[in-house]
Amino acid sequence: MDAHDVVIIGAGLAGLRCAVRLAESGLDVVVLEAQDGVGGRERTDVIDGFQLDRGFHVLNPAYPAVKRWMDVDALRMRPFPVGVRVRRESGSVELRHPVRHPLSLPASLRSGLLTPRDTAALVRWVTPVLLRPRAVIAGADRTLREGWNRVGLRGPLRTEVLEPFLAGVLADDRGETSDSFARLLVRMFIVGAPGLPEAGIGAVPAQLARSATDSGADLHLEARVREITPRNGIVEVEVEHRDTVRARAVVVAVGPDAVAGLLDLPRPATKGLQTWWFAADTPPTASAMLAVDGRRNGPVVNTVVISNAAPSYAPPGRHLIEATCLLPDEASSRSDAAPREADVRRQLGEIWGTDAAAWQLLRRDDISNALPAQPSPLRTRQPSRVRAGVFVAGDHRDTASIQGALVSGERAALAVLAEFGLTAP
């Protein structure tokens, strides 16, 4: 049997960050990934010349972990405009970041979405997390719905803008997510410029994988782990159709849907999202701004012309439109519960003011475990060590974000080093 210092199960963001840290520390590290590529939920496929991420993703360079451990310049980021286009009964209006786009402020005030009461309530809600984010993390928490009610945010800014916008970000349209977590995410949207790497979201784990292998880690794809067994100070890892691997420690860095199959841990609750990818010869708009339906007149919670922000996502002369819907619980076994294509196309036509019936459907991604649920009270640091020699990492152990995945992988690596009596470089 092969023997190593550490075996990491899963080559998603958490597992790859863990591998980088441990390999840089001089340990013999092997990463086992069940799929045919790295990234977990962060992957990009090329179909008919279009780059299709597996679900709608954005990368926020303002995340501390991204700034610290990623070469953002090498990703050649293509940012989205910092704002949102809102489809109202009377037509569409745009709300832009007032500091970055001060000339847009008069139009925003005329939109009818920014009443004085709502604006004041939003300031009360977001100011604490802008000034003292750590105090928000450590302070009292409640549901997002309760948080908005508490500050008096009840008008059109909430119902037509914030609720549909955050529904797509949190995979929650009921306001049941942690208020503290929602405020932290909004803070990142305010201080950062979310966008996409030129080569797709898959470029993020690809960069981490290169860093891991350059540091000495050994990466194996299509290596599905069936079972892990701690025995006499060594952990045995049974791999499907391969020899058993032995190591001093194992880090389980798989998604929330798979972690309970390898560890004696409860299965983390998750939220589902459905992403539709359409191709068109003519874009419905020249804008790259994310659009929401303030009327709630269908299943679509957000939509954007991806190729207007990142032209590399579509071949020359074509355009890529994304639409996100919430995936009902257990939709994978109840096909009648999922949004229907006819309803999606109708609503997209209304949002963009065009006929979406002729758009080519490239793919539909139903991702039932798109995000770990983030209920209140917010828990940002669950222990990495499960037992001697066995550790766990993933955004389901931190916050449901790229930031959470990277931080969780780093924390698991530091826990392994501590168990080995080593100091991180």
Per-residue confidence (pLDDT) for residue 372, from 0 to 100: 95
Both 328 and 351 in one domain: the answer is yes
Q: Is the peptide bond before 377 cis (omega within 30 degrees of 0)?
A: yes
Both 304 and 157 in one domain: the answer is no
How many CA atoms lie within 13 Å of 405's alpha carbon, on the beta-carbon side?
Answer: 27
Rg (CA), the chain: 22
Residue 323 belongs to what domain range?
44-79+195-199+270-372
Both 363 and 314 in one domain: the answer is yes
Both 101 and 117 in one domain: the answer is yes
Please work out, in degrees rounded to the nearest 5, the angle formed at the alpha carbon of residue 405 by the alpha carbons of 404 and 409: 115
Task: Please give the C-alpha separations between residue 214 and each of 11, 120, 183, 411, 412, in angstroms, as whole numbers.
Answer: 15, 51, 37, 21, 20
Strand pairing report for 2-9 and 29-32: parallel
**By C-alpha distance, which of 374, 397, 375, 376 is closest to 385?**
397
Is 425 a domain residue? no
Please work out, in degrees rounded to the nearest 5, the angle formed at the alpha carbon of residue 299 by the alpha carbons of 293 and 305: 60
Token pair of 320, please?
């890529």
Both 49 and 138 in one domain: the answer is no
Per-residue confidence (pLDDT) for residue 338, from 0 to 100: 78
The C-alpha atoms of residue 17 and residue 147 are separated, in whole angstroms, by 34
The C-alpha atoms of residue 327 and residue 417 are separated, in whole angstroms, by 40
**By C-alpha distance, which of 294, 389, 277 is closest to 51?**
277
Both 318 and 385 in one domain: the answer is no
Assess contact for 139 and 109: CB atoms under 8 A: no
Per-residue confidence (pLDDT) for residue 298, from 0 to 100: 96
Is 401 a domain residue? yes
Both 265 and 406 in one domain: the answer is yes
* Helix, strand, or coil (residue 288): coil
- Among 191, 210, 240, give the residue marking a domain's end: 191
**By C-alpha distance, which of 394, 383, 285, 364 is closest to 41?**
394
Both 330 and 406 in one domain: the answer is no
DSSP secondary-structure letter at 234? E
Per-residue confidence (pLDDT) for residue 336, from 0 to 100: 55
Burial class, 388, CB count within 10 angstroms (exposed 0-12 / middle 13-18 / buried 19+): exposed
Question: Can you tell me which residue has the tokens 């794809």?
Answer: 221
- Among 132, 166, 191, give the residue marking a domain's end: 191
Show pLDDT as tens, one digit a residue, over the chain (425 residues): 568 999 999 999 999 999 999 999 999 999 999 999 999 999 999 999 999 999 999 999 999 999 999 999 999 999 999 899 999 998 999 988 766 766 666 666 677 888 899 999 999 999 999 999 999 999 999 999 999 999 999 999 999 999 999 999 999 999 999 999 999 999 999 999 999 999 999 999 999 999 999 999 999 999 999 999 999 889 999 999 999 999 999 999 999 989 999 999 999 999 999 999 999 999 999 999 999 999 999 999 999 999 999 999 999 999 999 999 999 875 444 555 679 999 999 999 999 999 999 999 999 999 999 999 999 999 888 899 999 999 999 999 999 999 999 999 999 999 999 999 998 76
Is 85 a domain residue? no
Both 316 and 237 in one domain: the answer is no
Residues constituting the chain:
425
The C-alpha atoms of residue 98 and residue 95 are separated, in whole angstroms, by 8
Alpha helices, DSSP H only, in 172-316? 179-191, 203-214, 259-262, 306-309
Please spell the DSSP secondary structure of 15-74, one letter per residue. Answer: HHHHHHHHHHTT--EEEE-SSSSS-TT--EEEETTEEEESS---B-TTSHHHHHHS-HHH
Our count of domains for the chain comes to: 3
Both 59 and 137 in one domain: the answer is no
Q: What CATH number should be reported for the domain holding residue 206?
A: 3.50.50.60
